[in-house]
Structure 1
């Protein structure tokens, strides 16, 4: 009996031991250690999601995801570019320049890095650096019409109208229907006192896109030739975009002083006062 009990106890203890092992196994967590390749793949997926959030205007969420993507894979220049775009959207310009410098160290042959840098430099009013960045990017991608256009805009800001016109012409040769470049040629020609050429380019821009800017630019040109037609175009422009009633807004769109003076005279016309007041009311309501 004693031996029998001893055997029973022994079997029970062994069973208890193995059962406990199984129960311990059941509560011990299972850890998965991803490979570098898997992490890199995941970082690209997160980077893509960050870019999509940026597109839909969710800037803070985009920034957080872009930061995570870079932490997972700091050797991918595309992820640094996405992070820089998210930082620009959040107005973190110094951080964005840091990210773009990181991307440049990884691959200095990507034109978008320099174009993005120029965008930041313009925002922080460093035109000289913006110009250098654009020219560097254009050495890599010489037919990027948007970059050529932006370089033309810098010359427009510097009142170097002839050089600006050359660059806008170069833009239009690459993309004939790029009405913004045609419009800005009109802006430059007006400052050069070439009103007929200014009219021609504003009309051409309108034929592509009936936008408020060339409409009001044309109206300001016609003020000295055909007031009735000038008023018609001015009314249409203010109805399309009331912001153009504002001097500072037009200045942001790179309107020169001569065109500004002509426009201010036009907007003081008695027949436009109802439209001017309505435009200002719309601006105040939206602010």
Structure 2
């Protein structure tokens, strides 16, 4: 079997077939050998159970004998002797021999010599698939994944049906956090269909990299439809990869609902799909569902520790929640049963907190802490305790036990000085004890550690208001940025005055100035709330000028920034209503009220629609 695999990887498929036949003859019960023989027969166009009438003596005996000898020496770690034997073959069979030499050097971890051998094979034959595959393995061994990917792609460009290259590329894409669907064609059997799908998927992938998400999605959906209509293969086996690719395109288009549906479909097809978990994690994170995002990123990393997209996602959500960057509750090191008990307690604690059962929340936290202390060493405990202390602090805050809340936040900060949630919680404690200046500083630290921490942002605004400062004032900002922030506030305030005086054109001019300063000087994620409000404001200004097209663009931009913006939904509802699209308008006003039940504008508009229908 082993020699057959070497011969096959060297492109010597007929010789490989003979070796697999020997394996079956020597051990008729060997299911692996029989299955392998079936596969090679299919590749060569023979019936599944075909045995050649040729005997080994009909082949080139010297070649096979020397090949066998070199292979056996390599398997016995007699590398020098193996290479001596290989030299005898090199003059007559340069391409095949250099492939074998490359594999021997790879086994020795002699990457330079292996590279030289595979490249020599390519000089002899620039379309030598096994040489490309060998270089890909070499690069993968050195963790040069991008280079490995390129080699597998070269191999597949020569022979799209090479299963070794196809599966290798899928694995590399998987490790890089890229859609593995790019090598879907390796699972197909119809040559024409392979080429069609290959071309479309490669086009889709290129467009995806160029951020042409709608065009990329078009190709992927075409491939999906082709696969669904074909009887050549099992769609269910391929649907996970397809739906992951679809999901990431929707993510790029900021269509989070459709992205979520695609990733959920992928998980239905493959419950251990790392990319589907990571995709859902990103969807939840962008919707500010940090706890849900953390769970999904954790599962993504557990299912594939080399998924860098998932690892980065977990790091950013950990920062938001006050954990260390690499914290993963699935890897605490607890025994399985105790791990389940701990996870159950933590989940219950968060659920109880959200339902305002604060005393029971504290009981669950105490039980979870006890499990950690009894089962983990001090270092691992520290990482896990930060979030428990933060949650304990917020529970005590809700019970108006300021002293115990402060103690919990300070303990969290002792473990992780960069915990945004601990800084925000301590800021709240200080604010409630009328220490506004100290509270402001803690809120500022919280925002600097995590710009999307909504609790910290709201806290900083109220501390600034109490101190008579602009709501976005942040003393941690460099002086130039502080001046820019003051300019933004001035333009927005002037725009409000313009709007009140029905000078809508001038309001839009001032809002445009404010938006330009934000986009030129601040990260989008740090000011997405301001940009959302600003675009809603512009949208209603355009509506008052009866400019529905520009108004719609503004509201859609606001929704891209914040999918839960009640005012953006209401604005789009108003546009649909003006266009006579009553059903669409009704839906948007309903969403506006769902996102903010206090939105009086949306409530009145919905009443008007319902009255007109009745």
Q: Please give the TM-score of this superposition, normalised by the length of structure 1.
A: 0.47
Structure possessing the higher relative contact order (Cα contacts under 8 Å, 6 or more residues apart): 1
